[in-house]
Each structure stands twice: as structure tokens, then as C-alpha cells.
């Protein structure tokens, strides 16, 4: 198909794709433990129907030992044509009331800005619909072989990595297209070339054998929560840069996200300074960041005049793409064990070590994706990073070492607010991504047979 034909076909599909997205958003497919399984099962079943209707006639919910199954399907292309594997996920983050949603997260709402609001609208049901729209542009008969994988537990404890390791042959392809990213701003195309990794631990601080009356013993007797606060404060310097010795650092040379755009996207309160120094892009995608994502201690409601003997926190550290997660976690643990105030007892439990990821950017598949994205958006394409980690990508790279990766999607950083309240997607991003992906398939299909690497 010519570019103008792809553009017209996509435009004609958009009303139906938007309706499909709005319906899928209404299904609360939260795969986290403690949430009802029925909505996730319904999401899997209805998505499977949509996948088959789009042209993946052999699509099925794949058997996995536990958890919600991935959907896998294939549309065979002409003999000898390249193989492209499209990836997205059908589960979503929770949307608790305390997040402060201004509309029902499970009822897709189109607001004055034209964006579609609802949990999963961007992450990643928008990506899912983009993939379905891509094959529908070709009436279910794309110019090369297309595989589709839709994960059911991406937001929680993924079961897809083990499935890939057990069935690597299913994932053999020339190009992985990961539809779980986005541009920095609407209408400004970027390819994501690097993902930070993530390591985590739980640190427990103890100072007393048991609780004590704060009036009788307060002062000389060290409170564990205060000791923990002092310990956590050592993780950053006065400017907010990570102060953990031995962690990897780098410099970002791709597209940058300006401070004003970042403040707006993050809804930083007036008068609050941003943490760290240097380019926003470097701080986001080439430097580590440390957060205390959970704290256990006496609640305010249950508090009394008592010194706390024990407090603990869960620490998450985003790590530089390409760094060794074991070494980075070792550096974090060593810091926590050696910086406790007043000789407080510290115990650290390692809980996570997920690697970052770097895309190969000099291959023919990546070049074709850049050309396709530029044509679809009508402007030059930049490169961006992502602070989120997708450990699956390294598993896929190990299973299919010759394959290239294309990371993009409809989740614009400046406004989508994925994982937060009022998550949304701009439908024009979906439309342009459908065009870009269809163009990518055409460009890959036009490659000489000796450029195809899939066995």
C-alpha cells in the first residue's frame, strides 16, 4: 500500500478504534493480587475475540503455570518475508479513589482537550488498539509475517518471561515492536532507545528492644523512625543528586524534556525545586534515582507518646541502562549498611534486580522505523529514554539475539499520566502510530530476502 492509502485507511478506522478503546477501558483488568480475577479474564476473552477479528485467526490464550495468560497469534506473510512481533499488554494499574481522579477511571471520558481519559487508555490499551488497527489497515493480510503477543500480567509479577524462555521459537522474528512507550510531547515523534533498570530492597532500622515512653526516655533514647529518616537523607546530596558511591552514571545526548514541560507533566507544586542537577534528560534516563516507595511504622491514627523501636522502608533505585543490576544493588545495600546514625542496627533484604535496556540503533529495522515514524508525523524523529523498566526486553533479546527492537507507542510523557490519576491518551497519537506501524511493515517487506534474519 502507498502512504496515502495507509493514511486514508487509518482515518476510516479511527472511529471504530476509539470505540474499541473506550470499551476496553471500561473493563477493570487489574491483575494485582487481591483484585477480582473476573475482569482480567473477561478482558483476555474479549481481547482474544478482537485479535481474531483483526486477522489473527489462530490466536489463543497461551497455557501458563500460573496467573493470567498471554494472547499469542500469527498472520503468515509471503514466503521469505520478514517477521515482525508486535507486543502490548492488556492488564492495567489499579485506580484507587485516593489518587484523586476527576472522572470515573473505568468509564472512558473524552474531555474538552480531545483526550480520552481512563485507566489503561494510554498504558497499554492504547498500544493494544494501535496494534489491532495496524493489521486492520491491511484487512488482516499484512505484507510480511506478523506475530502478536499481548501480556496479561505486565503491571505485576510477569509470567511472560518464563514463557519466552520455555518457548523461544514462538518469538523468533526480525523486529520486535514494543507498543508500550510514547513521545515526549504530542505530535513530536521519538524512538525510545534506552530504558533504566530497577533494583529494590527493604531496609529495617532497629534502635530499642521495645517501645518506650517518649516523655520518660525521649532525648537520649534514639527513635528508630528518626534514625531511618537520617539514613534515607544520606541517599542524596544537598542538590538532590544520588549520593550512593559506586553506582553507574552517564550523560543523555538525545531529545531533552525541558524543565517547564517536566514540571507541568509531573504537577510539581509551585515553589518546589526539582531534585538534582544537569539536563532533565540526563536525570531521567542516564542517572540513577532513589525513592522510598513504602514505609512501615505506627500510623498517625494509632500513634501515642511512644518511642518506636523499629522502622522499615522499601527503597527503589532506577539504574542506568546497560549497568549490572547486581552491582548497582550491592552499592545501594552497602550504603544503607554503612550510613546508619548512632550505631543503629540495620538489616537489608534484597527484593528486586531488573536490568535496563539499550536498543541497537544502527540496524536496518531501526532505520525503517525512523523513516516510517517521520513520514507518519511529518517531522524529524528524535531519540528519548524511559525511566520505566521492562525486564522482558532483555529476556526477548536473549531468546532472539539477532532481532532488532523498536520502542514507541501512544503514551506521550507530557500529558498521559500513566499509573497516576486522570491517565489519558490523545487519539491523534494512536492514529499516527497506526500509520507508522503500517509503513514499517511495508518498508520491511520491501527489504531484500538476504536481509531477513529470522530462521
* Cell numbers describing residue 328: 548497582
CA 443 – CA 107 distance, rounded (Å): 38
CA separation (Å) from 438 to 83, 137, 362? 14, 7, 21
Query: Residue for cell digits 476509539?
Result: 18
Q: Which residues are catalytic?
A: 91, 154
Alpha carbons within 13 angstroms on the beta-carbon side of residue 439 total 26
Amino acid at each position: 500500500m502507498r502512504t496515502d492509502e495507509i493514511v486514508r485507511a487509518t482515518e476510516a478506522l479511527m472511529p471504530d478504534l476509539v470505540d474499541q478503546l473506550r470499551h476496553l477501558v471500561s473493563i477493570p483488568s487489574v491483575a494485582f493480587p487481591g483484585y477480582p480475577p473476573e475482569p482480567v479474564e473477561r478482558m483476555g476473552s474479549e481481547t482474544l475475540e478482537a485479535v481474531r477479528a483483526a486477522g489473527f485467526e489462530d490466536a489463543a490464550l497461551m497455557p501458563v503455570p500460573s496467573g493470567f495468560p498471554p494472547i499469542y497469534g500469527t498472520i503468515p506473510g509471503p514466503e521469505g518475508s520478514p517477521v515482525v512481533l508486535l507486543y502490548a499488554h492488556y492488564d492495567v494499574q489499579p485506580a484507587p479513589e485516593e489518587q484523586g481522579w476527576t472522572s470515573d477511571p473505568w468509564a472512558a471520558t473524552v474531555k474538552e482537550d480531545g483526550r480520552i481519559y481512563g485507566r489503561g487508555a494510554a498504558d497499554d490499551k492504547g498500544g493494544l488498539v494501535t496494534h489491532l488497527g495496524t493489521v486492520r489497515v491491511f484487512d488482516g493480510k499484512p505484507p510480511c509475517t506478523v506475530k502478536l503477543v499481548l501480556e496479561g500480567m505486565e503491571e505485576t509479577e510477569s509470567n511472560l518471561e518464563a514463557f519466552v524462555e520455555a518457548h523461544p521459537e514462538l518469538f523468533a522474528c526480525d523486529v520486535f515492536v514494543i507498543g508500550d512507550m510514547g513521545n515526549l510531547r504530542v505530535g513530536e515523534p521519538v524512538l525510545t532507545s534506552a530504558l533504566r533498570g530497577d533494583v529494590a530492597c527493604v531496609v529495617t532500622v532497629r534502635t530499642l528492644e521495645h517501645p518506650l515512653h517518649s516523655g520518660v526516655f525521649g532525648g537520649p533514647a534514639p527513635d528508630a523512625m528518626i534514625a531511618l529518616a537520617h539514613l534515607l537523607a544520606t541517599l542524596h546530596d544537598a542538590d538532590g543528586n544520588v549520593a550512593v558511591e559506586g553506582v553507574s552514571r552517564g550523560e543523555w545526548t538525545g531529545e531533552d524534556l525541558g524543565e517547564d514541560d517536566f514540571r507541568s507533566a509531573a504537577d510539581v507544586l509551585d515553589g518546589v525545586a526539582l531534585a538534582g542537577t544537569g539536563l532533565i534528560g540526563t536525570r531521567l534516563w542516564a542517572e540513577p534515582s532513589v525513592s522510598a516507595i513504602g514505609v512501615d511504622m505506627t500510623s498517625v491514627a494509632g500513634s501515642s507518646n511512644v518511642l518506636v523501636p523499629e522502622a522499615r522502608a522499601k527503597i527503589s533505585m532506577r539504574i542506568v541502562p546497560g549497568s549490572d543490576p547486581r552491582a548497582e544493588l550491592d552499592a545501594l545495600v552497602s550504603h544503607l549498611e554503612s550510613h546508619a546514625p548512632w550505631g543503629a542496627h540495620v538489616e537489608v533484604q534484597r527484593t528486586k534486580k531488573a536490568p535496563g535496556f539499550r536498543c541497537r540503533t544502527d540496524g536496518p529495522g531501526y532505520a525503517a522505523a525512523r523513516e516510517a515514524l517521520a513520514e507518519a508525523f511529518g517531522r524529524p524523529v528524535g531519540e528519548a529514554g524511559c525511566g520505566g523498566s521492562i525486564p522482558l526486553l532483555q529476556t526477548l533479546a536473549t531468546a532472539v539475539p539477532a532481532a532488532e527492537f523498536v520502542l514507541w507507542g501512544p503514551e506521550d510523557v507530557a500529558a498521559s499520566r500513566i499509573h497516576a490519576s486522570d491517565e489519558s491518551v490523545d487519539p491523534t497519537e494512536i492514529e499516527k502510530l497506526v500509520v507508522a506501524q503500517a509503513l514499517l511493515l511495508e518498508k520491511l517487506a520491501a527489504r531484500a530476502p538476504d536481509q531477513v534474519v529470522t530462521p
